[in-house]
């Protein structure tokens, strides 16, 4: 197969940042019809009014002719007003609420430290049928960083779902076999998978020297976990769908003594996914993963428009993307890609 037509994909987890950075990276989401925009700005997007203002800035920065539709999220804090969340969702402005355990990842200092303090919000979300997107890691310093997702399932997520069985949850950027197994046994849940976790293992990050542009959170895991993620992605199980977690940082902030977490994958995401699905003998299932399952979970119709990918001579992605906030280094898949999106 050298040509593949898909319904227009959606990206159900993307970081655009704000200001000059946002203006520089937004065009790289042009192949996606809908994007779920993360709220971890500084300060975070907590209220409906803040989400409306952020959405207006995104639309103002959208290049002419780009019809990507931003879907907004609210950052859950221990001071979040349940009524504001429900009103923002009812208006159609907000698609989901994002739970960051405090200190878990980039700009998460305002996140949740005590789940009991946000129960009124979560209970209101159950009644209003608003999904909760979860960064699934504990921040206990006694827990090894490679185990933090698995421990989160036991300590936080499973007890929460037992208390609120009607809460619809997205376990974002799953990185472990434990996360895949948990989701397969759960009702009312979905999970997103990223490009980097489908392509790389922790050896790519650490063996032979530290590669800061492969550093993300949750951190890359063993190759055996990557195999479990790939099996989930190509399984045709509608609980697993694409959320790139594409996360731009200035190159200098990544290549520093305390580098930022995040891989900037948006420009090459679809080409990389076609490579992965072809390796797994599952190109016929790529459309479900990128274009159908996420929309179904968020109770939206599939996109009618289509895009085409073609396989041809190997090509190497550009190294950097220039932005007004400084250059951003693109994700390097470590291979010459053969698939590309045909405009």
Residue in 209, 226, 206 with CA at minimum distance from that of residue 276: 226
Pairing of strands 69-75, 34-37: parallel
Residue in 42, 36, 128 with CA at minimum distance from that of residue 82: 128
Q: Which residues pair with 3 in a beta bridge?
A: 310
Rounded distance between C-alpha atoms, residue 176 and residue 82, angstroms: 32
Burial 104-128 (b: 16+ CB within 10 A, else e): bbbbbebbbeebeebeebbebbeee
Residue 106: half-sphere exposure toward Cβ, Cα within 13 Å: 25
Query: Terminus-to-terminus CA distance in the chain, angstroms?
Result: 19
- Residues 126 and 119: beta-carbon distance below 8 Å: no
List 28, 204, 237, 245, catalytic entry: 245
Respond yes or no: is residue 245 known to be catalytic. yes
Helices (H), the chain: 19-25, 48-61, 82-90, 119-128, 148-152, 158-163, 177-184, 195-199, 202-206, 223-233, 251-254, 269-279, 286-287, 293-297
The phi and psi torsions of 94 (rounded to 5 degrees) equal: -110, 135
Rounded distance between C-alpha atoms, residue 264 and residue 105, angstroms: 15
Angle at 240 between CA 234 and CA 117, to 5 degrees: 160
Torsion over CA: 212, 218, 222, 226 (sign): negative
Q: Which residues pair with 339 in a beta bridge?
A: 311
Q: Could you list the active site residues?
A: 245
């Amino acid at each position: 197969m050298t040509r593949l037509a898909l319904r227009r994909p959606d990206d159900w987890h993307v970081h655009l940042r704000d200001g000059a950075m946002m203006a520089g990276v937004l065009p790289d989401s042009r192949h996606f019809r809908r994007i779920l925009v993360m709220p971890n700005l500084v300060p975070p997007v907590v209220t409906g009014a803040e989400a409306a203002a952020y959405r207006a800035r995104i639309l103002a920065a959208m290049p002419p002719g780009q019809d990507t539709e931003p879907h907004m999220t609210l950052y859950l804090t221990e001071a979040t007003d349940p009524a504001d969340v429900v009103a923002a969702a009812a208006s159609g402005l907000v698609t989901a609420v994002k739970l960051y355990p405090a200190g878990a990842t980039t700009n998460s200092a305002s996140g949740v430290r005590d789940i009991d303090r946000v129960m009124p919000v979560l209970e209101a979300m159950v009644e209003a049928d608003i999904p909760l997107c979860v960064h699934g890691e504990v921040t206990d310093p006694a827990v090894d960083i490679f185990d933090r997702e698995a421990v989160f399932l036991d300590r936080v997520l499973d007890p929460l779902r037992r208390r609120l069985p009607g809460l619809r949850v997205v376990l974002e950027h799953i990185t472990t076999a434990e996360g895949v197994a948990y989701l397969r046994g759960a009702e009312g849940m979905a999970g997103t998978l990223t490009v980097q976790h489908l392509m790389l293992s922790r050896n790519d990050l650490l063996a032979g020297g530290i590669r800061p542009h492969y550093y993300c959170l949750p951190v890359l895991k063993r190759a055996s976990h990557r195999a479990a993620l790939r099996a989930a992605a190509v399984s045709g199980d509608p609980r697993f769908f694409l959320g790139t977690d594409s996360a731009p940082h200035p190159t200098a902030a990544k290549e520093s003594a305390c580098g930022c977490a995040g891989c900037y994958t948006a420009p090459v995401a679809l080409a990389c996914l076609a490579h992965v699905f072809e390796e797994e003998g599952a190109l016929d299932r790529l459309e479900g993963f990128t274009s159908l399952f996420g929309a179904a979970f968020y109770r939206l119709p599939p996109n009618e428009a289509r895009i085409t990918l073609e396989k041809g001579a190997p090509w190497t992605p550009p190294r950097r993307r220039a932005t007004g906030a400084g250059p951003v280094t693109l994700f390097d898949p470590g291979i010459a890609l053969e698939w590309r999106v045909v405009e």
